[in-house]
Amino acid sequence: LLIRDGAILYAGERSGCPEAAQEVIDGKGGICMPGLCNAHAHAAMTLLRGVGSDLQLQEWLQQIWPAEDRLNGEHVYNGTMLAAMEMISRGITSFADQYFFMDDTARAVVDSGMRANLSRGIVSTGGNDEQKLQEGVRLFEDWNGAADGRIKVYLAPHAEYTTTPDLIHRATRAAARLNTGIHIHISETPREVEECRQRYGISPVRYFEREGMFEVPVIGAHCVAVDDEDIAILARRQVKVVHNPASNMKLASGVAPVTRMMAAGIDVALGTDGVASNNTTDLFADMKLAAILQKGFLMDPTAMPVEKVLHMATRAGALAMGFENVGVLEAGMRADLLILDKDAPNLTPSTDVLANLVYAAQGLNVRLTMVDGKVLYKNGEYLTLDKEKVLFEAQKSAHALGL
């Protein structure tokens, strides 16, 4: 790869490289692949790692919410820096984040050097959803395209059950006016779908279609409890579905029909969701889970081939987040990549490299991570972050939340 100004100029055999480089990164003994794209996350929830691990969803939320009520911008910055450190060290180069105090998240993206799609989460409770929506619009005005284009901003009504039809209309109109998209949770659990049917007589997917939300680009997190008609709508509207297998299993939400969605033409991406419902941010773990979950659930070992899983975790994620020029290592794309240690015991022998990447690799096998042509992590060293400081501040913020 020949890289200049953050872009890949040439990809291929060294003998065909059009010019000599000023600086050479030796990838010997390594596997170079596109950086992983984490298409649904709540990065600052790293601070809540381990909270309420084995509880029912409602009891779990009752542990999460009081801690979140104490959050301020400094906590969110510290939690996002911790998340960035964890992601960078595991080869994740971009993430989609829906949370609060997003100016502080954006600062952490700038400081860490990562790429991100950011959105201010909006719930309608409390009667001030217009103010939250305007915060989301202001976030767009202040940050969309910032950090040399590494930051994109979407709007984010949280989910059907936490918002009103009126908010969905206003958010969709605002997104259309700004020429941007919406990041939202859709049909995460059967209960959510049942309650939506009681309210509106239809499923969340049909409801969002009816209310016009799919007129703009949508990142739809989860889509676990969807039927064939829902899937047809999601496919027709080109909704960017994000599968979060670890979170869905840990919260016992159910198994998303990923193979059926793919067969319908949906370009399903992969996400970790927040650390409170996954406990780690390692997309290699989520790749393996995404594959074996479909196979085991469908009792069909051909249900999810490795090529599809790798596509989910790279190119599909980049497209879901609106980063058209990310997720493939070829000329003209931005240089977001990772190098994995091919000689690690768990990757030897490398008879089938792709199978190794999905089934045997761990995030900790990553030895170099690059975003936009800049090396952020190399051989255990962070080049944009002060490791001791990030760990100390994150621990301090967790204490301040009463954890």
Binding site for Ni ion (CB under 5 A): 273
Burial class (CB in 10 A: 0-12, 13-18, 19+), 141: exposed
Q: Which is nearer to Ni ion, 104 or 273 (CB)?
A: 273
Min CB(156)–Ni ion separation in Å: 10
Of 68 and 273, the one with the shorter C-beta distance to Ni ion is 273
Q: What DSSP character marks residue 162?
A: G
Helix (H, G, I), strand (E, B) or coil at 8: strand
State the nearest-atom distance from the C-beta of 5 to Ni ion, in Å: 34
Kindly give the pairing relationship between strand 151-153 and strand 156-157. Answer: unpaired
In whole angstroms, how close is the CB of 195 to Ni ion at the nearest point? 18
10 Å Cβ neighbour count for 212? Answer: 14
The CA distance from 34 to 330, in Å, is: 10
Could you tell me the smallest distance in angstroms from the CB atom of residue 45 to Ni ion?
9
Quick check: helix, strand or coil at residue 118? strand
Nearest CB to Ni ion, comparing residues 23 and 65: 65
Between 274 and 327, name the residue whose CB sits nearer to Ni ion: 274
Neighbours of 352 (CB within 10 A): 12
Closer residue to Ni ion, CB minimum distance, 129 or 273: 273
Q: How far apart are CA 351 and CA 341, in angstroms?
A: 15
Least Cβ distance, residue 8 to Ni ion (angstroms): 32
The residue sitting closest to Ni ion, measured at its beta carbon, is: 273
- CA dist 284 and 365 (Å) reads 10
Q: How far is the CB of 53 from Ni ion (least distance, A)?
A: 17
Nearer to Ni ion, 279 or 369 (CB): 279
- Helix H or strand E encompassing 39: strand 36-41
Amino acid at 289: L
Closer to Ni ion by Cβ: residue 172 or 278: 278
| CB nearer Ni ion, residue 275 or residue 309 | 275
CB of 273 to Ni ion, least distance (A): 5
Helix (H) or strand (E) holding 104: helix 102-112
CA distance linking residue 53 with residue 204, whole number of Å? 28
Write phi, then psi, for 41 (nearest 5 degrees).
-155, 165
CB of 192 to Ni ion, least distance (A): 12
Cα-flanking dihedrals φ and ψ of residue 36, to 5°?
Answer: -80, 145
Distance separating alpha carbons of residues 400 and 44, to the nearest angstrom: 14
